[in-house]
Each structure stands twice: as C-alpha cells, then as structure tokens.
Structure 1
Amino acid sequence: MSVISKRAGLALLAGALALPASGAFARQEPQQGPQQATPAGPHNDRDDTLATVYGSPPSDLKGLPEGPDVEGVITARNGSAIQVTSTDGSETIISVGAGTEIKSSGGFLGLAKDRLGPDALLNGLPVKVDTVQWGRRLLASRVDLKARDLRTASMIQSGTRQQFAEQGAAIEENAAVAEALRGRVANIDQYNVKGTTNVYFDTGKYDLSGRARSELCDFAREAEAMDNALLLVVGYTDTTGSYEINQELSERRAGRVTNFLQQQCGWKPWRMLTPTGMATADPAADNGTEAGRAQNRRVAVNILVSKSVEGM
C-alpha cells in the first residue's frame, strides 16, 4: 500500500484543480463498438486510451478477485471512472459503481464516518481506494477520504466555477459591445461631420491648457447628445523640427487629448475611432508666419456620424 504525505497531497490538490484533465481522460472520445480492455493497475503511459465500458459496474462485488490498494489524488473524472494520481506520478483508472462504498472520516480521532455518493469524488480530492478486479479493469470496492479534504475541494471548485461564470459574463458583455460597434461601422468609409473643435499647443509641447480641458469636456457633452456619434482625434504640428520628431509629437498630442476625453470627460472608448498623428500634413494656416504656425500646432476633434446609421 502506498503512502501519501499531507504536503504532497496539498501539492497534488492544487495542481489537479488548476490544470485541465490530463492523460487518458483528456484524449478519450466516445466510441461505438465492442468493449476495449486496458491493463489493470497503475501506469505511466499517457498514450493509453481509457476503455469505453458499456453497461454498469456490478452492485454485488462478492466473488471478484481482490485488486491493489491505490492512494493518491483524483486528477480526472469521466462518467463512472476516476483517475487517481499517486505521489510517484503513476496514474490509475478505477471504475466506481453501485457496489462502491464511499466514506468520509472526521470528528474526534477521525472516528465519525459518513457514507457519500459518487458525486463527492471531486477532482483534487486525496483518496484511498480498495479495488477488485472486474474483467481486465479495476473497480472500487471502497473509497476513503477525509471530510476536511472534501470541504476544501468543494470550496475551491465552487470558487473556480463562480470565477469562470463571472469572467464568462464579462467576456459576453464586451463581445456584445464590440459586435454592436462592428455592426455600426464595418465597411463604412463615409461619415457626416457634425462638429469640430481644435485645441492648441506650445512649440514642442503636448500638455493641455486649462482652456483646452474645459473646451474638450464641453465638446464631449455636445457629442453625447447626438445619436450614434463617434469621435475622431487627429494631431498636427507646425514645420519646426524634423519629420520624425513632428510625427511623434503629433501622435503624443492626439494621445493626450484622447486620454483626457476618456478619463476626465467620460467619453466611452468604444465610441472613438483610432486616434492618429499627421505631423505637418493638412496645415490650417501658412507655416511661414508665427501666427500661422501657432494655428497648425493643434489637435482636431471631430464628431462623426456614419451616413448609414444616421436617422436610425
């Protein structure tokens, strides 16, 4: 009979609950046809395939030859079969049936015992299994576990299930928003411009002035009142400096305005087209004068409504 330590049991418990089913269970596919037999007892060969068994295990185990005792952690389940992994890494496939006695021990000196059903055999649960030979398979005659281990496995499994459910709900919600946005703007290259505001910057700077901050939030509120409105943010520079510097500066200006609109003015990110920097392109005024260059150091924020959704 093998012995499993508490420390090793906890390590296997954590691993079993954190990882998907492995080995024979992970690869099994439903099959049609006659029963396939697999050798009984522990094995390490991950190329083995769990046999498909048709019919229920017998409820009367009398007369069946005794099998090995197996001790370890349940690392997978598939119908009426469990996979028990021992501390040495060996994996044993064991069937569970109506004749299997499942008991948990607890209380003072572990003397109190409760009889349980097969549903109590959770992944990650340390168990000690007495077996009998059923054809070329192993059938559990008795499964012993500790009540505290069952409580721990149940709490972890319940918490994991809740976490997956919450994450799944969030993913579905985000997917619905994205799908709605794709439905509104996919394959559309024409928009009606409903309004434009410009914010201006000092030479080489991308900080927002107090006036610019106020104007941006006022403009966002104006856009919010329009159905199906999107914002497009485009940054520009004057001709001072190299192209590389101006390109980076125009992108920084566009990014600064975009962040402010989303973080301070409450504009939803999914209602904004991708911001871009255009360097010295599309000047608003003559770069030959200081006044003209001041007008070109800007970010233009445009309210756009797709022609295909306007009026919906």
Structure 2
Amino acid sequence: MQRKMIVVSLMTLFCLASIWAFGDDKEVKGMITSRTGETLIVKSGEGNTTVVLTDATRTKDDRGLFGLEKQEMSSVVLIPGLKVDIDGTPDEQGRVVAKTITVDGDDLEAAEMIQSGLHPTAEQVAANVQKLEAHGGQLDAHKVQLASQKENIETNEQNIAAHKQQIAANLKDIEENTQRFSALSEYDVKHQVTVKFKVGSSKVSSEDQEQLKQLAQTATGLSGYIVEVMGYADSTGDAAMNTKLSEDRAKAVITYLVQQGNIPVRHIVAPGAMGEYGAAAPNETKAGRAENRRVELKVLVNKGITGS
C-alpha cells in the first residue's frame, strides 16, 4: 500500500512539473531572421527560437501602421530584420506560442526607409556631402584671403570633421540595414499582381478585385506562404499627402484580401507605404502617373520550403 502511494505521488509531481514547464510564460527578445507562414525564427543571446503566430497573437506598435487594430498588426510588420520583444508560452515541441509581440518603433521606421529605397538616408548623406564641400571651399578661401583669422579657420575645420563623422555614420546605417533586410531575398515569388487606382482614390475596382481573388486562391494553396503588399502614389500633391494615399491604398487591398480572400492577416507583410518613391514610370506624363498609382502584391514562399 505504501509503495502505491509513493508511485502515485511521483506521477503527480511529474504531471505538475510538465504543466509548469509548458505553462510558464517565456520572454524572447531578439531579431527576426526568417519567416515561414505562421512561424518566425527569432535570434537572441540564447540562440534561435521558433515562435508560432496564432489568431490570438497581438502586436504592439506605437506607429499604428495602416491604421489597423493592434492585434492585426502582427502580420503586417513582422518581417526579417525587425527587433521584437515576445511574450508567449512554450509548447511541447520547444517552440514559443506568441501572446504579445512588441515591435521597436525606431526599427519599423528603419524598415520603411529600406523598403522605400533608402531615400531619406541617401538624401541626408547627399545634403551632408554638399555641406562638407561648401565648408571645404570656405576653408580654402579663408586660408588664402584671411590667413590672419585663425579662429574662423579652426571653426570651419571642426565643422568639416563633424560632417565627415555624420556621413560615416549614415553610410554605416545604410550598410547595416541593407544587410538585415536582405533576408527578404530568401523567398521565391510564386504569384504577383499590380492593382491600379484613379487619381486621389484608394478604392479597389471590380476588375482588380478579380485579380485579388485569383491571388488569394493561389496563395492559400501553398504551404508557408506570405503576401507582401506595397503601396505607391504618383507625384501629384506633396510628399506627405502621397505617403498617406499610398498607405490608404495598401490598407484597402489588405482589407479585401482578409475579408473576401480569406487570407489570415498574419500571412500578410507590408513593409511600408512608399508614397511617390519607387516610381514605375516617369511622372511627367499622364500615362506615367497612371502607372505609379498602384499597389504591388507578391505571394512569397521561403526557399527552404520550395527546395530552391
């Protein structure tokens, strides 16, 4: 009788230990290195962790990209290269089922810069180069014409050094961000469409709705797919307005895919609204502007799944 009680006690302790092992929340801080369908690979100081996305997964993003609800942001912003802080529960396979994913706002901004062709950083570098050349010319003039004004010359030299440091820092940021987001090239494009829009409009036409239905059918027949959505605008109006318009267009397409195409929002990635950058045709002509009022969609599958 005593032996049976000991055996029962040991089994009870084992079950409790198993529950505790799989039930405790776990925090994972690191960078997304790969995404396949509903799973992420997150690299942290402890190594690589497989993170599972579910319908209950919520993502916190202070930027409010595309105006979607916070719980719908997970699939929109989770792309390779983003830093994340994940709170979840370990499962029996050693993975972490994500409850909450917090995205670094600054990292999202860096992602948008990379996806829009690095325009903000490149423009800043170009501006600093012009300032450097201007200060260099002023320095030469002061040395020849105002040799006695040593203090002014020293001030200009300090300005030159400061601009050189800023240029070096900007170039380093470009290189690091490009390397981080180059992971997107590890996907095969299985299907792609372009949705066109009228001037100032974000309404999806019935013709383009058919395109989106076909894309959704193709995507849902693939294993581990993701859909990349990128919105654009022509150069009509100011840059801020065009960025907002391209954002609204991408949002309209995402809404249609989720509501009519039955694509879970966690299978959609939208690196950012491109505005008037990344033009497909010259904006100087009416036909060119029509080409630029668009949303580009790609159905992607990780090459590791396709065997490429």
Structures share a fold, TM > 0.5? no
Point out the structure with the larger helix share: 2
Normalising by the smaller structure, the TM-score range is: 0.3 to 0.5
Q: TM-score scaled to structure 1, two decimals?
A: 0.41
TM-score by length of structure 2 reads 0.41
